[in-house]
Amino acid sequence: MSAVSNSDQFKQSFREEAREILVDLESALLELNENPVDLELVGRIFRGLHTIKGSGAMFGFEDLAAFTHNLENAFDEVRNGRLQVNSELIDLTLSALDQIRAMLEDGAGVAPADPAACAEILSKVRQLAGISPEKPTREKAVPHPPVPVLGVGPLRDWHIHFAPGADMMRNGANPFLLLQELRQLGSLSVRASMAAVPPLGEQDPERCYVAWEMVLTTASDADAIRDVFIFVEDGCELTIEPSPMCAAEVTARALEDQRSQPTGRRSYDKPDNVSSLRVPAAKLDQFVDLVGELVTVQARLSEIAARRDDPEFAEVSEEIERLTSALRENSMNIRMLPIRATFEKFRRLVHDLARDLGKDVELTMEGADTELDKTVIDQLGDPLMHLIRNSIDHGIEPADVRASQGKPAVATIHLSARHSGASVLIAVSDDGAGIDAQAVRNRAIEKGVVAADAELTEAEIFALIFQPGFSTAKQVTDVSGRGVGMDVVRQRVDSLRGTIDVVSKPGLGTSVTLRLPLTLAIIDGLLVSIGDACFVLPLANTLECIELTRADIERANGKHVANVRDELIPYIRLREHFNIRTERPAIEQIMVVETEEGRFGFVVDQVLGNCQTVIKNLGRFYRHVQAVSGATILGNGTVALILDPQRLAQDALRSVTHGPRGHPASPCAKTSSRTSSVLDRTPTPVN
C-alpha cells in the first residue's frame, strides 16, 4: 500500500531530521555548559526538545515524545529562571539524548533502549527541576487551553498562513496537532479557510484542502515558529510574517474566505512550493556513477569527433562536452557538504572524555564550513575520533603537570579544515606534551619494527605511531593505548587516497594533518604523455606549462632547475622517475604545479589537453603505490594513471635530503606506508 510506505517514509524523514536536531542539541548543551546564563542557548535547547517531542508524537513515537516532554519541562523551568544550569543538568540531558537516539533507532520507536536508564534520568531531572512525577504524556489531539510560553524577547504578533501539501495527510501528519504545537508557543487565534475545498464529488478524500490563517502572540521568533512545521514544510504553503493586521482583521478575512463560493476558491491544483528535498544518499551515489559513465562515453565521442573531418559532428560533440561538464560540476556540488556536522559531533566526545579522565579540555574549530565530498565526510568520523581520543588521553597533560609548566589550566584541542588545491586539509592539534620521538624510536626498536642502528628522521619516527599495534602508552586505558586507533586512522586515510602529516614539538603540542582529496569521483585534469604512456595531472594544482629544450638543460649545467620569469623552479623528470625507456623528444614540456612544498615542475613529452577524469580505484594490490592517486579510462579505451603532485614533490624532496633509497619510484613500487611528516615546518599554532 502506498499510504503505508509513505508513512514509513515520513517516519524515516522524521528520524533523519531528529538526528540532526540531536546533534545541534548536543552542541548547544556543551556551549551552555561553558556559558550557563546564555538564554539564547536555553531557548535553542527548549525549541529542539519541543520539536522532537511534538513531531515524535505526530509520527507515532509516543514513548519518545513522553520522555522528551519531561526534559522540555526542565528546560522550561530554566527558561523561566526557576532552575539554574549546572553540570549535573547538562550531563543528565546528554544522557537523555543518548536514550532518545536509541529510541529513534528502535524499529518502531515505541520502546526505550534502556527503560531503567530512562526512568533514572527522568527521576533525577525531575528532582533537579523540582517537578512532581507525572504520568507519561501521550501527545494526542486532546484539546487543552492555550498555554502561553514565555520566550526571551518581547511579545509580538505573527501572522501565519499555512496550507498543507497534497500528501500531508497521506504521510500520516495531522494539521490539528501542528496547531496544538503552535499554541504551546503563545496565544493563538486561528481560523480555518474552506475556500479551496472542492465540491463533494470532486474531492480527493485523502487530501487536505483546508488552509489556516492564524495570529500567534508570542515572544518566540520566526525560526521557533517555523520549527513547528519542520517536518511538513516541504510541499506546504507556509508564510510567517510579523502581523501587520490585528487578530480581528485576520479573522474577518478568513471568515470572508470561508463564506466564499467555489468560484473564488484557491487553486488547489497548482504545484506546491518545494524549497528543498531529501534524497537517499544511495540515489545520489547512483546518479554520480551514471554521470561518471557519461563522462567516459563523452570522452570517447570527443575522440571520434577529433578523428573525423565533420564540422557538424564536431559541433554536436563540443555541445555534449559542455553539457557533460556542467552536469558533472552540478552533480559534484550536490555531494559537497560542510564538515561542520562532523566537527560538532566531537564536542560531546571531548566533553565526555575530558570528564572521564579528569582533564579540562576545550574544543575549538576553524573552517567548519569547508565543503568536501559526502563520501569523504562519511569516512572521516572514525579517524578524527581516534586522533582526538589519543590527543586527550596521551597528549594533554594532567592539570598539575600543566600548572607546573606554566600552561593554561584549560587544554585545547583544535579542529581545522581548509582547502588546498584539489585537496582538503583536516587537522587535529593539541597544546599537550607533544610526541616523545626518542620514546617512539625506542619502542620501535624494542618491537623489532626498525633496526637499532637505523637512521630515521623525525618525520619517519612519527610515521611509526601509525603502525598496527604500536603504542608507547605505559598504561592501557579505556580510551586508548592498545595501539589500534592510529592504525585505523592510517588505514582509513589510505582508503581515501589521503596522506597524514605529523608535526610535534615537545612541551608545545602535536598537530596531525590529514590531506584528503576533495572528491573521490571526478576531477578536471590535464592529459599528458611520456613515450606511449598517458598520465593525468589534476588541473587544480597546475599553474602553467613551459617548454624545456636541450639548450635550457645545458644552460642549467644539468641541474633539474628551470628559470621561469627569474624564479628558479626545481623539476622532476617523470620519464626517469617512472623508468620509461623511450627516446626523449627535442622539446619537452614542464608542467608547473603548486604543492604544499612549493612550486615544482614535472617534465613530460607532450600536453594532450584538458580532460574530465572519472577516478577509478587501482584496487587493493596497488593501494600503497605512492605518487599515483588512481586511474582513469580515456576516450580511446586506454588507461591513464592520475598523478599525485604532492606525493611526487615529497618523494623528490626526500631523495634530495637523503639521496635515492631503495627501489626506483616506479608506479608499481610498493611502499610500507603513505604516511610522512612535513619537513621544515613549525607546529600548527593551537589556540
Partner 1 sequence: MPLTLESSDSLSKISLEGEIDIGCAAELQGLLVHALGSSKEVQVSLGSATDLDVTAVQLIWAARRAASASAVEFAVTGPVSEPLASTLLQAGFEDFAAIEIESLATGT
> Which residues in 156-175 contact partner 1 (CB under 8 A)?
169-170, 174-175
Complex with partner 1: residue 45 or 216, whichever CB lies closer: 216
Q: 75: burial class by Cβ within 10 Å (0-12, 13-18, 19+)?
A: buried
The reply on whether position 206 binds partner 1 by CB under 8 A is yes
**Positive or negative: CA dihedral 155, 159, 165, 166:** positive
Number of residues that bind partner 1 (CB under 8 A): 34
Long-range CB contacts for residues 481-485, cutoff 8 Å, separation at least 24: 481/393, 481/394, 485/386, 485/387, 485/389, 485/390
Q: Which of 22, 113, 194, 230 binds partner 1 (CB under 8 A)?
A: 194
**Alpha helices, DSSP H only, in 59-86?**
62-79
What are 217's three cell numbers? 502572540
Tell me: does residue 208 bind partner 1 (CB under 8 A): yes
Q: Is 192 in the site for partner 1 (CB under 8 A)?
A: yes
Stretch that binds partner 1, among 107-115, 195-203, 326-334, 559-567 (CB under 8 A): 195-203
Asked if 212 is part of the footprint of partner 1 (rule: CB under 8 A), the reply reads: yes
Min. distance of Cβ 232 from partner 1 in angstroms?
13
Q: How far apart are CA 231 and CA 10, in angstroms?
A: 8
Q: Which is nearer to partner 1, 218 or 472 (CB)?
A: 218
* Residue number, 180 or 467, with CB nearest to partner 1: 180
Q: Which three cell numbers stand for residue 597?
A: 612544498
Of the residues 12, 20, 115, 176, which one makes contact with partner 1 according to CB under 8 A: 176
Q: Which amino acid, residue 270?
A: K
With respect to partner 1, which residue has the nearer C-beta, 205 or 271? 205
By CB under 8 A, the residues from 572 to 631 that bind partner 1 are: none
190 sits in the region (left: phi over 0; alpha: psi -120 to 50; else beta) called beta
Q: Identify the residue among 210, 365, 479, 540 touching partner 1 (CB under 8 A).
A: 210
Contact in structure between 256 and 83 (CB atoms under 8 Å): no
Q: How far is the CB of 487 from partner 1 (least distance, A)?
A: 55
Give ∠ CA 466-469-473 in degrees, rounded to 5: 85
- Smallest gap from Cβ 180 to partner 1, in A, equals 7
Phi and psi at 115, nearest 5°, equal -55, -40
Closest approach, Cβ 76 to partner 1, in A, equals 21
Taking CB under 8 A as the criterion, which residues in 644-663 touch partner 1? none
Burial 179-217 (b: 16+ CB within 10 A, else e): bbbbbbbbbbbbbbbebbbeeeeeeeeeebbebbbbbbb
- Binding region for partner 1 (CB under 8 A) out of 15-23, 81-89, 192-200, 332-340: 192-200
Closest to partner 1 by CB, 105 vs 256, is: 256
**Among 198, 338, 531, 585, contact with partner 1 (rule: CB under 8 A):** 198
Shortest distance (Å) from residue 150 CB to partner 1 = 21
| Interface positions, 216-255, toward partner 1 (CB under 8 A) | 254-255
183 is a contact residue toward partner 1 (CB under 8 A): yes
Which backbone phi and psi does 371 adopt, to 5 degrees?
A: -100, 140
Selected binder of partner 1 within 127, 203, 330, 563 (CB under 8 A): 203
Number of Cβ atoms within 10 Å of the Cβ of 670: 12
Q: Assess 59 for contact with partner 1 (CB under 8 A).
A: no
Q: How far is the CB of 260 from partner 1 (least distance, A)?
A: 11
Q: How many residues are there in the chain?
A: 687
The count of C-alpha atoms lying within 13 angstroms of the C-alpha of 365, restricted to the half-sphere facing its C-beta, is: 16
Question: Least distance from C-beta 165 to partner 1, angstroms?
Answer: 13
CB of 277 to partner 1, least distance (A): 24
339, 366 contact by CB (below 8 A): no
Measured from the CB atom, is 146 or 531 closer to partner 1? Answer: 146
Pairwise CA distance, residues 600 & 649, whole Å? 7
Written as nine digits, the cell of 659 is 639521496
Output the DSSP codes for 27-59. HHHHHHHH-TT-HHHHHHHHHHHHHHHHHHHHT
- Decide if residue 199 touches partner 1 (CB under 8 A): yes
Cβ closer to partner 1: 213 or 321? Answer: 213
| Spatial distance between the Cα atoms of 298 and 538, rounded to a whole number of angstroms | 19
Query: Binding residue for partner 1 (CB under 8 A) from 205, 242, 358, 558?
Result: 205
Binding to partner 1 by CB under 8 A, coded x per residue (else -) over 103-142, reads --------------------------------------xx
Contacts of 285 (CB under 8 A, 6+ apart): 375
Closer residue to partner 1 (CB): 240 or 615: 240
143: contact with partner 1 by CB under 8 A: yes
**CA–CA gap between residue 350 and residue 348 (Å, rounded):** 5
- C-beta closer to partner 1: residue 205 or 358: 205
* Site membership for partner 1, residue 190 (CB under 8 A): yes
CA dist list (Å): 379 to 152, 374, 383: 40, 9, 8
- The pattern of x and - marking residues 277 through 316 that bind partner 1 according to CB under 8 A reads ----------------------------------------
* Stretch of residues binding partner 1 (CB under 8 A), selected from 26-34, 176-184, 534-542, 659-667: 176-184
Residue 261 CB, nearest distance to partner 1 (Å)? 9
Stretch that binds partner 1, among 188-196, 280-288, 292-300, 304-312 (CB under 8 A): 188-196
Alpha-carbon gap, residue 147 to 137, rounded angstroms = 16
Complete DSSP assignment for 211-266 = EEEEEEEESS-HHHHHHHTTTT-TTSEEEEEE-SS-HHHHHHHHHHHHH--GGG--
Residues that bind partner 1 (CB under 8 A): 141-143, 169-170, 174-176, 179-180, 183, 190-192, 194, 197-201, 203, 205-210, 212-214, 254-255, 258-259
